[in-house]
């Protein structure tokens, strides 16, 4: 298996063996990610971060991963302070930045932007989210979280929220299909998972159940993966409020769940999870955001050819 110089664009580009290898390397690197063990795995590595949309976790966990491994980052910073504000194209920006760094992490509002950037770049492009497309490094850390905190093979999962535009949900579904997951998709009718993805999953003999009612599935699942319902997409705010209330994860809802149910969320959350759940054994979302560090460290070490 050779990841050296691979562009990381879509979960569809990964086999189960490839994912398993990344997750195993992440486990080995966890002490480095926690700052418990020193490493120079990224000595002389310069990673460029181009974020055309806001980010806390993805940007900072890439920074943490590279710095803890002895490398450096080159951050474009705010778009206003860059020449993108003068109208420079993404293609030109990529052709310039490839000369400054060994790999480029790109978040962009347009679906397909990372794939396009990879055509212009001689250094690896890592997709950190392309519009409503994919967010593959989030998916890798989601899988790592499920593996560490629950059971990945054959997991019974509910993915809830805005499944139409939620790129983390799209990437996760494709990856879970490699692990024989039973997938329950919980969303308002207007924000259902795109039909193309549901058909792809069913084509791989994955059990997919669609509902708008969380109570229908809560008793049976191992993992509840919540995502933000995007208020801005509802023409009528009262419709949003009805849906948001029906999908909110509350202590009352979790009373009906398995005792070892894990609640995940890619974050940021708004109102999806009641804060009183944060201190229960169900809450997994802050561990999940930490796991972004060892997983991105593993991925970078493989792509930079520092580990095999």
Contacts to ligand CP by CB under 6 A:
55-58, 138, 266-268
Instruction: Give the nearer residue to ligand CP in terms of CB position, either 93 or 289.
Output: 289
DSSP code of residue 34: T
- Could you report how far apart the first and last alpha carbons of the chain are, in Å? 8
**Pick from 306, 290, 307, 302: nearest CA to 34:** 290
Please report how close the Cβ of residue 285 comes to ligand CP at its closest, in angstroms.
10
From the CB of 109, what's the least distance to ligand CP, in Å? 12
Q: Which stretches of the chain are assigned E, i.e. beta strand?
A: 46-51, 72-75, 103-108, 125-130, 156-160, 182-186, 208-211, 223-226, 262-264
CB of 278 to ligand CP, least distance (A): 17
Instruction: State the minimum distance, in angstroms, from the CB of residue 129 to ligand CP.
Output: 6
Instruction: List, in sequence order, every beta strand (DSSP E) within 19-60.
Output: 46-51
| Contact by Cβ (8 Å): 55, 110 | no
Question: By C-beta, is 57 or 248 nearer to ligand CP?
Answer: 57
- Closest contact distance (angstroms) between CB of 248 and ligand CP is 19
- Nearest CB to ligand CP, comparing residues 172 and 267: 267
71 or 129: CB nearest ligand CP: 129
230's CB contacts (< 8 A; 6+ apart) are 162, 165, 191
Q: How far is CA 92 from CA 10, 97, 116, 268, in A?
A: 23, 9, 12, 31
Q: Which residue has the tokens 């202590």?
A: 251
Q: Which is nearer to ligand CP, 44 or 78 (CB)?
A: 78
- Residues 74 and 47: beta-carbon distance below 8 Å: yes
CB closer to ligand CP, 62 vs 240: 62
- CB nearer to ligand CP: pick between 138 and 182: 138
Least distance between ligand CP and beta carbon 139 (Å):
11
Smallest distance from ligand CP to CB 291, Å:
11
- Find the shortest distance in angstroms from Cβ 134 to ligand CP: 12
Q: Which structure tokens are listed for 126?
A: 């890592």
The closest alpha carbon to 126, from 171, 118, 190, 281, belongs to: 118
For residue 83, which phi and psi values (nearest 5 degrees)?
-75, 0
Q: Rounded to an integer, what distance in angstroms lies between the CA atom of residue 130 and that of residue 75?
A: 18
Return the DSSP state at 224. E
- Give the nearer residue to ligand CP in terms of CB position, either 11 or 218: 11
Cα separation, 302 vs 18, in Å, equals 11
């Amino acid at each position: 298996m050779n990841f050296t110089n691979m562009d990381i664009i879509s979960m569809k580009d990964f086999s189960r063996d490839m994912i398993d290898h990344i997750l195993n390397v992440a486990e080995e690197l966890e002490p480095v990610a926690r700052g418990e063990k020193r490493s120079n795995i990224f000595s002389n590595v310069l990673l460029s971060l181009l974020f055309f949309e806001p980010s806390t976790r993805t940007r900072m966990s890439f920074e943490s991963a590279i710095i803890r491994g002895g490398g450096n980052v080159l951050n474009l910073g705010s778009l206003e302070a860059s020449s993108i504000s003068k109208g420079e194209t993404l293609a030109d920006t990529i052709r310039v930045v490839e000369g400054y760094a060994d790999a480029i992490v790109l978040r962009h509002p347009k679906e397909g932007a990372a794939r396009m950037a990879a055509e212009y770049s001689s250094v690896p492009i890592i997709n950190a989210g392309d519009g409503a497309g994919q967010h593959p490094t989030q998916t890798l850390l989601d899988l790592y979280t499920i593996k560490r905190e629950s059971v990945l093979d054959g997991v019974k999962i509910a993915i809830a929220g805005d499944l139409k535009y939620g790129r983390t949900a799209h990437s996760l579904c494709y990856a879970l299909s490699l692990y024989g997951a039973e997938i329950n998709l919980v969303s308002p009718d207007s924000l259902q998972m795109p039909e193309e993805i549901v058909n792809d999953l069913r084509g791989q003999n994955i059990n997919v159940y669609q509902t708008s009612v969380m109570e229908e599935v809560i008793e049976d699942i191992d993992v509840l993966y919540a995502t933000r319902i995007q208020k801005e997409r509802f023409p009528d705010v009262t419709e949003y409020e009805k849906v948001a209330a029906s999908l909110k994860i509350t202590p009352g809802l979790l009373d009906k769940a398995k005792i070892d149910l894990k609640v995940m969320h890619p974050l940021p959350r708004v109102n999806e999870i009641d804060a009183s759940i944060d201190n229960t054994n169900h809450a997994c979302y802050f561990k999940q955001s930490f796991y972004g560090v060892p997983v991105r460290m593993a991925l970078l070490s493989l792509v930079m050819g520092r580990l095999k």
